[in-house]
Structure 1
Amino acid sequence: MADFAKSTVPRFSVEVYQNEYLPEGGREVNAIVTVTSTGGGTTGGMPIPAIPAPAPALDEGGGPARDQGGPAPRAAVVIMVDCSGSMDYPPAKMRNARDATAAAIDAIRDGVAFAVVAGTHKVEEVFPGGGRLATADPATRARAKDALRRLSADGGTAIGTWLRLADRLLASADVPIRHGILLTDGRNEHEEPGELRAALKACAGRFTCDARGVGTDWEVKEVTGIASALLGTADIVADPSDLAALTADFTRMMDAAMGKEVADVGLRVWTPLGAEVAFVKQVAPTVEDLTDRRAEAGARAGDYPTGSWGDESRDYHLCVRVPTAEVGQEMLAARVSLVLPQHDGGLPATLTQGLVRAVWTEDMVASTAMNPQVAHYTGQTELAQVIQQGLDARKAGDMDGATAKLGRAVQLASTSGNEGTAKLLAKVVDVVDAATGTVRLKAKVAEADEMTLETRSTKTVRVKK
């Protein structure tokens, strides 16, 4: 049995929402699994296996960083700042990026290992340099911000090289929480698309990363693809001259990263003989399909990555296909567990679990009723899909297709109470009747409004209690 440290992680709980009743011959079981973590830090959490102390971080001069006292830092973060030539147009863009990054550095907790890199068609370690991480304290934060002031815009964009350097730096810290923050204003034009895909594949599961696009000259699918692959968030700061918005967003990102207490939590789904998982999707706070990320975990079990956790709650949609059975029979369709890897190589620790059931009935009212949570998130997933389809159709010149898809999106946003998405849709279409999804495409749409809708299309709202 592993030794346990005094440090704790949030206490996890699982709630399962479903209609367990199936008609005779029915095979598909749907459930919403709500995972909640509370009480991280030093109170209310669950003990976890002791983690070896990280190798000493170095200060800018190459010597050991000043001892912070207290427990060893459990997190490391690398900030990647786009310094390509386009960041100088307008000049305020580079200046504001430096200032926002400085604000993020101020939000790094004492004792956390960190580094700053500048990204162009090549990548440069801005601070501390030498393939090292610094340990955050007032002195190292001040030196990092001083190094930021010397950044200038020049060169191209090769994001895969930025991510690979971040991975090497983060791997040098023996800590459980490894996080990246990436800011870009342009398209990844100075490396082949396959190079970015290969970098994302190599980095997946090694660190999480939030990605931000500044202005309107970047590619939405590139930035959201980075966040998706690395289980982070994606968003847009459409106006690069809006220092307050950029600074607030960078500070929020860093605060969220500093709030994480445990990494590499897996959602383990076990199914009985004859049953199989059709899909697993995160559906709140954003839609993220995890189905293809399954890692086998023994007989009839698979783990789906969920990334890092602090005090928060997320919802997952699980669909299981079960063997047919006679009316009156019931079975355990799936067992859903939260598991945490052991650092001593032992079996993963089970943090909590929930059960998904199947009961066959001849009561048509019972078997055709849709659980409210399942119905809500089925609609939220469709909402994200039809927004993307509608915008793609609009770009392709298919105005009838775009009108139909975005009209359906307006209808879904209205019925589910997703006011944020409804407001973004209203900047792209004129809403005639939200209840029926009757809309007209606007003749002119600001590029920033279209990109904001596309970037934030996967954000969902939770079921109203």
Structure 2
Amino acid sequence: MTAAPAPFTVEVDQNPYLAAGATRVDAIVTVTSSESAPAAADGLEIIIVDCSTSMTGDKIHSARRATAAAIAQVRDGVSFVVIAGTETAKQLYPPTGTAVADARTRAGATAAVNGLRANGGTGIGSWLTLAGSIADRHPGAIKHAILLTDGQNGERSHYFEAALAGVQGRFTCDCRGVGTDWRVEELRAIAAALLGSVDIVADPAELAADFEAVMEAAMGKSMAGVALRLWTPRGSTLRFVKQVAPTVEDLTGRRVDTGPLRGDYPLGSWGAEVREYHLEVEVAAGAVGEEMLAARVSLVRSGADDVLGQGLVKATWTDDTALSTGISRGVAHYTGQAELAEAIQEGLAARKAGDTATATARLGRAVALAAESGNEGTARLLERVVEVLDAPSGTVRLRAAVSDADEMTLDTRSTKTVRVRGTEEAS
């Protein structure tokens, strides 16, 4: 009987050769999930819609259409719920429990959504807390939420932070800000904590297409609770672990120790997709000719020991400078992509603070990095904020007038990366 193929493949791109006395090992780990994996039947979708007073007019009309479009994408047999958010959270459909998607429940939910009205404040922590309590009633399911808001959270920071910490690991969440009156850093914090995405929909008319795409992607997930497990040898230090494609996200602080010399980093739910990670390990220096295993990278189910895919990061000390000075193509590329995201965010912050010199320098550096790596999407967004005089050198001039939408779009999408040239672009 032929064994079933592993659901994940793990490939390691690195230069394993270190000069005598060198201690740092870098590697790019490419994780590919099996395209043959069927979409999971057991799932929960939570749609959270801001119904605060600021949503009055086109925004609430667009939110109704977008929510209806998302509901239409929920596959038969998947549980779902719609939450209306103001300063409190109200379960709109169904009034209690969760609905199981079919033609009747989708129609009922759409009818309820068509009655949404904008009136009240914004209490995002309470919305997340209700979503968490609903998610807890579906153990083992793929649990995903879409959160839409147009404004800034009105709760005290300590309440919001406690609420966000309280729902970590209970569901994943994609966040969308409609218009330009919301705070990028606020939604980015939610998306980062809940292993989701954040994006701007500046024109409310485009909201329905965006919601439809988000829900379609969610319906393609086939496995929940995947974790990246890293084993490193005694005496070594794992300096950082970052997702670098399709977006930059620092995972270092998410480690959960699961045994001697090893820890798990939660990755959320997976469908047929590719993600890439950059890890750096500091090891004890070896003698010329010595070889060692610097890290063992495994894909596992969170809290379990069954290995879904595995790769090895190695170190070999040499006195051949031609070998030891080489930098892996992937490591070089993604180091630049991480720097690109950082340069954009620092440049925009400086621009907002009125520090023209720093803003020009950092956004100029971003332009150069985008050009060097072939990140054409980010390059186009940068051109809306700066006038590019010479892209390779990063010579730019700040534009005098920049719309809030253009600035926020660049900020929100600053972490999106492209894969190494010659491979398919990260989506």
Shorter chain as denominator, the TM-score bin is: over 0.9
List per-residue Cα deviations over 1:83-116 (Å, max 9, x = no partner). 000001xx11110110011000000000000000
Q: Which residue of 60, 75, 88 maps to 1:94?
A: 60
Mapped pair 1:435 → 2:392: yes
Residue 369 to residue 227, structure 1, CA distance change in 2 (3 Å):
same
Moved over 6 A (4+): none
Mapped pair 1:221 → 2:185: yes
- The residue that corresponds to 1:28 in the other structure is 24
Task: Kindly state the Cα deviation for residue 10 of structure 1 after the two structures are TM-superposed.
Answer: 7.6
For 2:65 and 2:181, locate their aligned partners in 1 and report how far apart those are by CA, in whole Å. 21
- Letter of the 2:413 counterpart: R
Q: Secondary structure at the match of 1:13?
A: strand
Q: Which residue of 324, 341, 345 maps to 1:367?
A: 324
Q: Which residue of 151, 161, 170 maps to 2:116?
A: 151
Task: Kindly state the Cα deviation for residue 273 of structure 1 after the two structures are TM-superposed.
Answer: 1.4
- Letter of the 1:314 counterpart: R
Range with greater deviation from structure 2 (405-414 or 360-369): 360-369
Q: Secondary structure at the match of 1:307?
A: strand
Q: Which residue of 11, 15, 34 maps to 1:15?
A: 11
Q: Which residue of 289, 293, 308 maps to 1:328?
A: 289
- Letter of the 1:30 counterpart: D
Task: Kindly state the Cα deviation for residue 175 of structure 1 after the two structures are TM-superposed.
Answer: 3.8
For 1:194 and 1:453, locate their aligned partners in 2 and report how far apart those are by CA, in whole Å. 29
List per-residue Cα deviations over 1:172-217 (Å, max 9, x = no partner). 123420011100000002x111222111111111100000000000
- The residue that corresponds to 1:54 in the other structure is none
For 1:199 and 1:363, locate their aligned partners in 2 and report how far apart those are by CA, in whole Å. 54
- The residue that corresponds to 2:345 in the other structure is 388
- Letter of the 1:124 counterpart: K
For 2:38 and 2:187, locate their aligned partners in 1 and report how far apart those are by CA, in whole Å. 35
For 2:220 and 2:73, locate their aligned partners in 1 and report how far apart those are by CA, in whole Å. 11
Q: Secondary structure at the match of 1:263?
A: strand
Mapped pair 1:187 → 2:152: yes
Mapped pair 1:107 → 2:73: yes
For 2:322 and 2:365, locate their aligned partners in 1 and report how far apart those are by CA, in whole Å. 28
* Structure 2 residues without counterparts, runs of 5 or longer: 423-427
List per-residue Cα deviations over 1:198-257 (Å, max 9, x = no partner). 1111111110000000000000000111111100011000112x2xx2111101100111
Q: Which residue of 367, 372, 377 maps to 1:415?
A: 372
- The residue that corresponds to 2:135 in the other structure is 170
Q: Secondary structure at the match of 1:210?
A: strand
Q: TM-score, normalised by structure 1?
A: 0.88
* Structure 1 residues without counterparts, runs of 5 or longer: 1-7, 44-71
For 1:18 and 1:73, locate their aligned partners in 2 and report how far apart those are by CA, in whole Å. 38
- Letter of the 1:425 counterpart: L
**Conserved? CA contact 1:179–1:207, under 8 Å:** yes
Q: TM-score, normalised by structure 2?
A: 0.96
Aligned positions of 1:51-450 closer than 5 A: 73-88=41-56, 91-130=57-96, 132-189=97-154, 191-240=155-204, 242=205, 245-341=206-302, 347-450=304-407
Residue 42 to residue 288, structure 1, CA distance change in 2 (3 Å):
closer
**Conserved? CA contact 1:10–1:311, under 8 Å:** no
For 2:5 and 2:170, locate their aligned partners in 1 and report how far apart those are by CA, in whole Å. 19
- Letter of the 1:220 counterpart: V
**Conserved? CA contact 1:9–1:262, under 8 Å:** no
Task: Kindly state the Cα deviation for residue 423 of structure 1 after the two structures are TM-superposed.
Answer: 0.4
Task: Kindly state the Cα deviation for residue 39 of structure 1 after the two structures are TM-superposed.
Answer: 3.0
- Letter of the 2:49 counterpart: V
Q: Secondary structure at the match of 1:266?
A: strand
For 1:448 and 1:303, locate their aligned partners in 2 and report how far apart those are by CA, in whole Å. 38
Residue 9 to residue 446, structure 1, CA distance change in 2 (3 Å):
farther
For 1:31 and 1:293, locate their aligned partners in 2 and report how far apart those are by CA, in whole Å. 19
- The residue that corresponds to 2:425 in the other structure is none
For 2:94 and 2:297, locate their aligned partners in 1 and report how far apart those are by CA, in whole Å. 43
- The residue that corresponds to 1:56 in the other structure is none
Residue 168 to residue 40, structure 1, CA distance change in 2 (3 Å):
farther
**Conserved? CA contact 1:40–1:261, under 8 Å:** no
For 1:122 and 1:393, locate their aligned partners in 2 and report how far apart those are by CA, in whole Å. 35
For 2:327 and 2:237, locate their aligned partners in 1 and report how far apart those are by CA, in whole Å. 21
For 2:211 and 2:140, locate their aligned partners in 1 and report how far apart those are by CA, in whole Å. 23
Task: Kindly state the Cα deviation for residue 42 of structure 1 after the two structures are TM-superposed.
Answer: 4.4
Q: Secondary structure at the match of 1:378?
A: helix
- Letter of the 1:94 counterpart: I
Q: Secondary structure at the match of 2:71?
A: helix
For 2:141 and 2:305, locate their aligned partners in 1 and report how far apart those are by CA, in whole Å. 15
Q: Secondary structure at the match of 1:150?
A: coil
Q: Secondary structure at the match of 1:200?
A: helix
Q: Secondary structure at the match of 1:414?
A: helix
**Conserved? CA contact 1:40–1:310, under 8 Å:** no
Residue 78 to residue 9, structure 1, CA distance change in 2 (3 Å):
farther
- Letter of the 1:304 counterpart: Y
